[in-house]
Amino acid sequence: MPKKLRAGFPTYWTTFGQGPRAAMMIHCTLGHSGAWGGMARKLSGALTMTAFDFPGHGRSGVWSDDHGDIQEVSARIAAELLDGPADIIGHSFGGTIALRLAVERPDLVRSLTLIEPIFLAVLEADNPDMARDHEALMEPTTTALVACDYETAAREFIDVWGTGRAWADLSAEQRGYMIERMYVVAAEEPSVHRDVGGMLAQGVLARIKVPVLLIEGSASPEVIGVINQGLARRMPQAERAVIAGAGHMVPITHADQVATEVLRLLARIA
């Protein structure tokens, strides 16, 4: 698959499926475009899906803050990979990229599926007490990042946001991949926590007029439910779906169930 400059950044992307509708899939932090394989198998008859490795991940280039805001750059990469309106699907930080694309390039978004979007600025705006508790929960990760102790940071990070597997149970390759990319977590802080993109400014999300599906796992961190509730309140055509027994990595661990929800959304808007 191609690896070329998109939005001025060396970007790798791939495609799945041969369906009649175009779609864009944006993976989570510490993931890569191949993570969508499970969902893509079920969606291949309905969608032709483009998935790219956002900066610092997979086969795309190494990220540096000299490039700017990683969420903004990633949204511009997504825009350059699209030929026209598409169904946009994003997971975790990829969900915040998808949301920013919908805000900044509404002409390219036909529907929006946000799977466990880690847009913590919503939490801080709507429930400051829970935001402080979550900050305390993430303090070991934050402290390790400041110290550039990326192995400890990765271990602590996936303890909260992983699949539920213990660090020791992951392969050496998996652990190494995450350790090498933990620096990106710090780069995401301005957009995730401080909303440098201004998406929570008065009336911005209300301008998203396309159908929006917010998906969460029933066993995910409680903050995700609060974030999805806050986003649903701010967007006029938003609805929510909960995948029973799933955690934060729901598009990987429960790919069929998530794909089924996406197909239901597509059937309604068709």
Residue 222, both tokens:
């409680």
Residue 75's domain comprises: 3-125+196-269
Distance CA 155, CA 144 (A): 10
pTM of the model: 0.97
For residue 135, is it within any domain? no
Flag whether 139 is in a domain. no
145 occurs within a structural domain:
no
192-210 pLDDT, tens digit each: 999 999 999 999 999 999 9
Which of 23, 264, 29 minimizes the C-alpha distance to 138? 29
Q: Residue 21 belongs to a domain with what CATH number?
A: 3.40.50.1820
Residue 2 has pLDDT above 80, yes or no: no
In a domain, 152, yes or no: no
Q: Is residue 165 part of a domain?
A: no
- Asked whether residue 136 is assigned to any structural domain, the reply reads no
Q: Please indicate, yes or no, if residue 200 is contained in any of the structural domains.
A: yes
Number of domains in the chain: 1
Strand partners, 90: 26, 114
Render pLDDT for 71-116 as a digit per residue (tens, 0 to 9): 999 999 999 999 999 999 999 999 999 999 999 999 999 999 999 9
Kindly state whether residue 236 falls inside one of the protein's structural domains: yes
SS3 content of the chain, % helix, strand, coil (to 5): 50, 20, 30
| Whole-Å CA distances, 232 to 3, 35, 249 | 36, 26, 21
